[in-house]
């Protein structure tokens, strides 16, 4: 039987055999016919039509009522067949699009990859997990000859491929800055001009940029409307929110960003994050800052990388393993 040609003779034999015996073998042949017909893009109305022809040849004296019902079924399946063909076409296009997105996500992961520096006296942990295939969050580390560490963490207000493209542009803009330009405020001011000129006006970028002066134990930083992080003072065993000011990148071309600093002592810690962390849900409400810090305190005794991974796994379980937003978290432990 060649289903792509809808052989009437073979189908009539198959139908007649089943009507007479109603055995499993005939049903199996029908299932095989159906699968092969789908593989050859045979429409449902074609199958109905050949079924009607075969049935009339087997039983030429069908009643008018049965004959009318078969014609009604055929007309119904014509409309269904058109919708089915459209569905198949859309499913094929969706598969192609998903394949392209997989390639784009892999490229983004490569383009935005960064190496976590190994600096004596500073334990760094970082994790960034996208809610979907493309990541709208970004973090990056850079070190200079004096072992000063630049830390960037950003979030595009927007999702999907446009957000990923914006992040790639920011990353390569940062790579183009001279090594001598290490002031956080200058970095953000230059990035703001890049974003304002090159990113769609409906899309903005929040960003925190800091430089840890290793030999001074000093963290200098500026923020462009980014989610406030936290500073843990070990001597006081106390968390405090990192207070910053600054407009998100891309709103106005000429913006000056204020610079702040924190001196870190032994045991101190800085927590940087995106709103995918602070906007985790517990039931029907967002997590409160006290609840977030309680979770951080639960893991902060661990090495920094183990700690951020532990916090992520906690919130992943809390949300039934379905992130509602990109999740990025960085610990800097002195």
Residue 114 within any structural domain of the chain? yes
Same domain, 164 and 217: yes
Mark whether 226 and 191 lie in a shared domain. Answer: yes
User: What whole-number distance in Å separates Cα of residue 108 and Cα of residue 133?
Assistant: 10
CA distance 128 to 329: 7
pLDDT for res 124: 97
Q: Are residues 130 and 62 in the same domain?
A: no
The answer to whether residue 100 sits within a structural domain is: no
In a domain, 223, yes or no: yes
CATH at 10: 1.10.1240.30
Residue 321's pLDDT is what? 66
Residue where a domain stops, chosen among 68, 92, 116 = 92
Tell me, yes or no, whether 301 lies in a domain: yes
Last residue within a domain, chosen from 70, 92, 114 = 92
pLDDT at position 330 is 97
Q: Is residue 191 part of a domain?
A: yes
Instruction: Tell me which H or E stretch contains 169.
Output: helix 160-176
The domain of 123 spans: 105-333
Whether residue 99 lies inside any domain: the answer is no
Domain check: are 240 and 122 in the same one? yes
Residue 185 CA to residue 210 CA, distance in Å, equals: 9
- Residue 198: which CATH number? 3.60.40.10
Q: How high is the pLDDT of residue 243? A: 84
On whether both 78 and 227 belong to a single domain, the answer is: no
Nearest to 139, CA basis, from 228, 76, 206, 203: 206
Same-domain pairing of 189 and 306: yes
Q: What total number of domains does the chain contain?
A: 2
58 and 147: one domain? no
pTM of this structure: 0.71
Q: Give the 3-state secondary structure of residue 287.
A: coil
Question: Is the domain of 117 the same as that of 240?
Answer: yes
Angle at which helix 64-111 crosses helix 44-58, to 10 degrees, equals 150
E strand or H helix at 64, and its extent? helix 64-111
Check if the beta carbon of residue 149 is closer than 8 Å to that of residue 143: yes
Q: Nearest-CA neighbor of 37 among 55, 10, 56, 16?
A: 10
Is 98 contained in some domain? no
On whether both 116 and 256 belong to a single domain, the answer is yes
Residue 185 shares a structural domain with residue 226:
yes
Q: Does 206 lie in the same domain as 147?
A: yes
pLDDT at 304: 97
- DSSP labels, 189-258: HHHHHHHHHHS-TT-EEEEEEEEEEGGGTEEEEEEEBPPP-EEEETTTTEEEE-----PPBTS-SS----
Tell me what pLDDT residue 4 has: 47
Distance of alpha carbon 106 from alpha carbon 101, whole angstroms: 8
**140 shares a domain with 88:** no
pLDDT for the residue 105: 67
Taking the chain (334 residues) in runs of 10, the rounded mean pLDDT of each run is 61 84 79 78 82 88 87 83 79 79 69 83 92 79 87 82 75 71 86 83 86 93 94 96 89 89 96 88 77 94 96 86 82 96
Listed residues 61, 92, 123: the one ending a domain: 92
């Amino acid at each position: 039987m060649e289903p792509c040609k809808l052989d009437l003779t073979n189908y009539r034999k198959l139908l007649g055999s089943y009507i007479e015996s109603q055995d499993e073998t005939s049903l199996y042949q029908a299932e095989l016919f159906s699968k092969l017909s789908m593989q050859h893009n045979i429409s449902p109305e074609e199958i109905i039509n050949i079924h009607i022809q075969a049935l009339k040849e087997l039983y030429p004296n069908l009643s008018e009522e049965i004959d009318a019902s078969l014609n009604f079924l055929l007309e119904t399946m014509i409309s269904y067949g058109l919708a089915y063909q459209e569905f198949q076409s859309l499913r094929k296009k969706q598969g192609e699009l998903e394949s392209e997105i997989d390639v784009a996500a892999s490229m983004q992961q490569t383009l935005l990859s960064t190496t976590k520096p190994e600096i004596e006296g500073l334990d760094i942990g970082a994790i960034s997990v996208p809610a979907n295939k493309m990541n709208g969050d970004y973090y990056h580390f850079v070190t200079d000859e004096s072992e000063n560490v630049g830390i960037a963490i950003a979030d595009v207000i927007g999702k999907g491929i446009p957000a990923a493209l914006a992040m790639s542009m920011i990353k390569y803009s940062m790579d183009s800055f001279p090594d001598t330009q290490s002031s956080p405020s200058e970095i953000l001011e230059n990035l703001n001009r890049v974003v304002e000129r090159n990113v769609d006006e409906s899309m903005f970028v929040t960003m925190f940029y800091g430089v840890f002066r290793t030999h001074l134990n000093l963290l200098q930083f500026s923020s462009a409307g980014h989610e406030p992080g936290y500073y843990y003072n070990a001597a006081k065993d106390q968390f405090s929110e990192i207070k910053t000011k600054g407009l998100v990148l891309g709103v106005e071309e000429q913006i000056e960003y204020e610079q702040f600093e924190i001196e870190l002592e032994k045991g101190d810690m800085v927590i940087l994050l995106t709103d995918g962390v602070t906007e985790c849900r517990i039931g029907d409400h967002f997590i409160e800052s006290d609840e977030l810090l309680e979770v951080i305190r639960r893991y902060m005794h661990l090495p920094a990388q183990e700690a951020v991974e532990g916090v992520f796994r906690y919130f992943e379980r809390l949300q039934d393993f379905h992130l509602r937003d990109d999740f990025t978290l960085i610990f800097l432990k002195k």
